[in-house]
Amino acid sequence: MPNDRGSIKWTSLMMPEHIELLKEMWVEDDKNSKPVLDEQQVEFLNVQLQEAFEDQDTVCLRIYENDAMIELTGVVAKLDNQTSSVLLNRFNRPDKRIAFQNILQLVF
Protein backbone atom coordinates (compact mmCIF):
# COMPACT_ATOMS: atom_id res chain seq x y z
CA MET A 1 0.00 0.00 0.00
CA PRO A 2 1.46 3.41 -0.91
CA ASN A 3 2.40 5.86 1.82
CA ASP A 4 -0.56 8.24 1.98
CA ARG A 5 -0.17 11.48 3.93
CA GLY A 6 -3.87 11.65 4.76
CA SER A 7 -5.36 15.09 5.22
CA ILE A 8 -1.92 16.73 5.41
CA LYS A 9 -1.62 16.79 1.62
CA TRP A 10 -4.82 18.89 1.39
CA THR A 11 -3.80 21.61 3.85
CA SER A 12 -2.58 23.94 1.12
CA LEU A 13 -6.11 23.91 -0.34
CA MET A 14 -7.91 24.41 2.99
CA MET A 15 -9.05 27.55 4.69
CA PRO A 16 -7.24 28.44 7.95
CA GLU A 17 -10.45 27.78 9.89
CA HIS A 18 -10.58 24.22 8.59
CA ILE A 19 -6.94 23.62 9.51
CA GLU A 20 -7.63 24.88 13.04
CA LEU A 21 -10.65 22.58 13.38
CA LEU A 22 -8.56 19.60 12.24
CA LYS A 23 -5.89 20.40 14.84
CA GLU A 24 -8.54 20.59 17.57
CA MET A 25 -9.97 17.27 16.40
CA TRP A 26 -6.54 15.61 16.63
CA VAL A 27 -6.05 16.97 20.16
CA GLU A 28 -9.46 15.56 21.19
CA ASP A 29 -8.53 12.17 19.73
CA ASP A 30 -5.44 12.03 21.97
CA LYS A 31 -7.48 12.47 25.16
CA ASN A 32 -8.39 9.37 27.16
CA SER A 33 -11.75 8.92 28.79
CA LYS A 34 -11.83 7.86 32.42
CA PRO A 35 -12.46 4.13 32.88
CA VAL A 36 -15.39 3.19 35.09
CA LEU A 37 -14.67 0.72 37.90
CA ASP A 38 -17.38 -1.64 39.10
CA GLU A 39 -18.23 -2.14 42.78
CA GLN A 40 -15.98 -5.17 43.23
CA GLN A 41 -12.98 -3.37 41.76
CA VAL A 42 -13.59 -0.36 44.02
CA GLU A 43 -13.90 -2.59 47.09
CA PHE A 44 -10.70 -4.49 46.19
CA LEU A 45 -8.90 -1.18 45.66
CA ASN A 46 -10.07 0.04 49.09
CA VAL A 47 -8.74 -3.13 50.75
CA GLN A 48 -5.40 -2.75 48.95
CA LEU A 49 -5.11 0.91 50.00
CA GLN A 50 -5.85 0.00 53.63
CA GLU A 51 -3.20 -2.76 53.57
CA ALA A 52 -0.64 -0.45 51.95
CA PHE A 53 -1.32 2.21 54.60
CA GLU A 54 -1.06 -0.23 57.52
CA ASP A 55 2.13 -1.90 56.22
CA GLN A 56 3.68 1.34 54.89
CA ASP A 57 4.62 -0.48 51.67
CA THR A 58 5.89 1.34 48.60
CA VAL A 59 3.13 1.30 45.99
CA CYS A 60 2.58 2.41 42.44
CA LEU A 61 -0.78 4.12 41.86
CA ARG A 62 -2.26 4.44 38.40
CA ILE A 63 -4.50 7.50 38.45
CA TYR A 64 -6.62 9.49 36.02
CA GLU A 65 -5.65 13.15 35.90
CA ASN A 66 -6.07 15.85 33.24
CA ASP A 67 -7.52 13.47 30.63
CA ALA A 68 -4.56 11.10 30.97
CA MET A 69 -3.57 8.06 33.00
CA ILE A 70 -0.37 8.52 34.98
CA GLU A 71 1.57 6.41 37.48
CA LEU A 72 2.86 7.70 40.81
CA THR A 73 5.13 5.82 43.20
CA GLY A 74 5.34 6.37 46.93
CA VAL A 75 4.05 5.40 50.36
CA VAL A 76 0.44 5.94 51.45
CA ALA A 77 0.86 8.49 54.25
CA LYS A 78 -2.81 9.14 55.02
CA LEU A 79 -6.28 7.89 54.11
CA ASP A 80 -8.69 10.79 54.58
CA ASN A 81 -12.37 9.80 54.59
CA GLN A 82 -13.59 13.37 55.16
CA THR A 83 -12.08 14.64 51.90
CA SER A 84 -12.23 11.23 50.16
CA SER A 85 -8.56 11.36 49.31
CA VAL A 86 -5.20 9.66 49.76
CA LEU A 87 -1.99 11.44 50.69
CA LEU A 88 0.93 9.86 48.86
CA ASN A 89 4.47 10.49 50.16
CA ARG A 90 6.62 10.49 47.00
CA PHE A 91 10.09 10.39 48.63
CA ASN A 92 12.14 13.16 46.90
CA ARG A 93 9.09 14.98 45.56
CA PRO A 94 6.27 16.90 47.26
CA ASP A 95 3.43 14.87 48.73
CA LYS A 96 0.46 14.39 46.40
CA ARG A 97 -3.19 14.37 47.47
CA ILE A 98 -5.25 12.10 45.20
CA ALA A 99 -9.04 11.78 45.21
CA PHE A 100 -10.35 8.24 45.70
CA GLN A 101 -12.41 8.37 42.50
CA ASN A 102 -9.27 9.14 40.43
CA ILE A 103 -7.39 6.01 41.52
CA LEU A 104 -7.66 3.24 38.95
CA GLN A 105 -5.15 0.65 40.08
CA LEU A 106 -2.70 -0.05 42.89
CA VAL A 107 0.40 -2.21 42.49
CA PHE A 108 2.67 -3.26 45.38
CB 58 within 8 A of CB 80: no
- Furthest-apart CA atoms within the chain: distance in Å: 63
Got the DSSP string for 10-52?
A: GGGGS-HHHHHHHHHHHHHHHPPPPPPP-HHHHHHHHHHHHHH
Using 50, 70 and 90 to split pLDDT, how confident is the model at 9? low
User: How confident is the model over 52-106, as pLDDT tens digits?
Assistant: 999 999 999 999 998 889 999 999 999 999 999 999 999 999 999 999 999 999 9
How far apart (Å, rounded) are the C-alpha atoms in residues 21 and 15?
A: 10
Q: Is the model's pLDDT at 2 over the cut of 60?
A: no
Q: Name the residue among 55, 45, 51 with its Cα closest to residue 84.
A: 45
